[in-house]
A = this chain, B = another copy of it.
Amino acid sequence: MDTLNVMIHAPTPEALHRAQANTRNLLKLEPDANIELVVNGPAAAVAVGIVDAEILGRLVLCQNSLDKQNLTAQDGARVVPAAVQHLARQQQQGWGYIRA
C-alpha cells in the first residue's frame, strides 16, 4: 500500500487527548505513515506541555492560537502561521484529514 499522509486535527483538549491515542494506534498498524497532529484553539495550551517524543515530533502548532493565549511552543514542535491554512493547503497536496 501507499504510504499514508494524514493530519489529525485537535482544537480542544478532549480532541487532543483522543488525537494522541489515534496517533499511537495508527503507528502500530502503519509504522511508516506520515502523521501530523495539528493543534489550534484551546488545545494549544495543553499541547505546549507535551514531552513524549513520539507525539512531539509530529506536533504542528498554530501561531495564531499561541499568540492569542500568550503561549510559547516547546523545543521540537513545529509552528505554522495558521493551522487552518496548513490544514487546507496540505489537503490540496493529497493529505488526509481526521478531526479527533
Tally of A interface residues using CB under 8 Å: 37
Copies of this protein, total: 3
Confirm or deny: A48 has a beta carbon within 8 angstroms of a beta carbon on chain B. Answer: no
Residues of B within 8 A of A40 (CB): 18, 22
Contact: A89 with B18, CB < 8 Å?
no
A90 to chain B, nearest CB (A): 9
Contact: B99 with A4, CB < 8 Å?
no
Against B, the Cβ 8 Å flags (1 = close, 0 = not) of A15-33 are 0001001110110111001
Known contacts A4-B89, A6-B91, A91-B96; can you find 10 more A-B pairs with CB under 8 A? Answer: A2-B92, A4-B88, A6-B84, A11-B18, A18-B41, A22-B40, A25-B84, A28-B82, A84-B98, A99-B99
